[in-house]
Structure 1
Amino acid sequence: MVTAQDAIVLWARLEAEAGHVLPPPYWASAWSGGQGLARYILDHPDTVAGCRVLDVASGSGLVAIAAAIAGAAKVTANDIDPYAIAAINTNAHANDVELILSSNDLLDGDADGVDVVLAGDALYHPAVAARMLPFLARVSASGTRVLVGDPDRGHLAHDWLERLATYEVPTSGAPEDAQLHRTSVLTPRRDKVDDRCLPARTVDAVRPGCCRAALQTSGRARSGVRGPARS
């Protein structure tokens, strides 16, 4: 993976070159939640193999690349930051995988035509979580598998999520990760949906098929996480 040793220094340099204020380079680091989710996908390739996958807030593309390596039929890496799209494209080529790149804001939609939605460390700020959580709950209610990687930043409604695995991960260099070493992979519970996140509607039964089978809780897997990418 092509990442920055110091994202703050990179940010300052990019702003100096651009001559105007730029959003933080979230795409320049392998965030803790993304590392954990990528590791889970590589450890459990059946969760995405043969499936149509959407990675939202893809950042560096780490999770999307892991899904492609694990055998997903089609992987869309989505991020609204054009710098992130460029980084994802670079990292995909470095890992010899093919990704579909999307810079559209998808959070008001339903992720139609997708079997699995991945969100690696996409709940890093309350304002972002306020939009992301309803999207994930809505998508899950439609029968689409949802996997979330989160190092407990405090913006998750844990009562409607079940933990599939916990990983010890190295800090990434992102300022937000300075004190984080443990991250969890979670999925919405089919029997309990947080009504703060999901509008009143009937939760569809999980449809059969390779991408619809219910996930089995794997317990706590503790290991150092290496990104799936080749350096």
Structure 2
Amino acid sequence: MTDCLSHLCLLHISALDRDVAGNSHPLHLAAREGHLDVVKLLLDSGAEKDRPGFNDLTPLGLSLNVAYPARAAPNQLETMKLLVEYGADINKSYLLFDAVSLRDQSIIKYLLDHGGSINSRNPGDYSLLGHAAGSTDYKTVEFLLQNGAVLENPVDGCPNPALSSAAEKEKLDTQPLLFAHADDNTRSKYGEAIVVAAGAGHLEAVKVLLASGVDLESPGEMGQRALHAACASTVPLPEMVAY
């Protein structure tokens, strides 16, 4: 296989950057499948390492083609590291979000150590911490906080999405952890979290927030209170309203 590709490269055939179905390119396809030798050959032959392809993902962004609870295979990890060694932009790849979704602290640390931003944002998503708070577990959120993730992240465009995400998904152990890392100014904006929790019908999440010191009358981003959200919920709970 590599002999054939090498021959094509030597003939200067436009195999490196030609569009195929789904707007993917050879380097993207090889990276997604973890074909380490092919990825190296294409990089050495001049393939664009940060060119967006399918879903606007770069080759590096496709290299961890696996979903939790599965683990990244050795060839995927080696492909990821090869692309990083060749200078692929970690932040443009949004690969940190995949690493967080996999709850793999070793991959997260590797990407952070090689230029990844702990406070980056994925278009259409929250910051890395906001993503982790609603989609992963206590240990992953704790790891991000220990490595410099901030609660008040300007890239989010809204106050405290991390706690709101945790409240919406009823991550009861993560909520106190986030609250413990907040300063007074940040805590004053936690109304959105209790509104979100009430609107989702998560009574236990509301209880955790109240126990952490969030004011039941704190307004959310649109001025709504928790009681309003509970009454307007698609899953209204009489005990929530009564509480």
- TM-score w.r.t. length of structure 2: 0.29
- TM-score w.r.t. length of structure 1: 0.30
Bigger RCO (CA 8 Å, 6+ sep): 1
- Bigger-Rg structure (1/2): 2
The structure richer in helix per residue is: 2
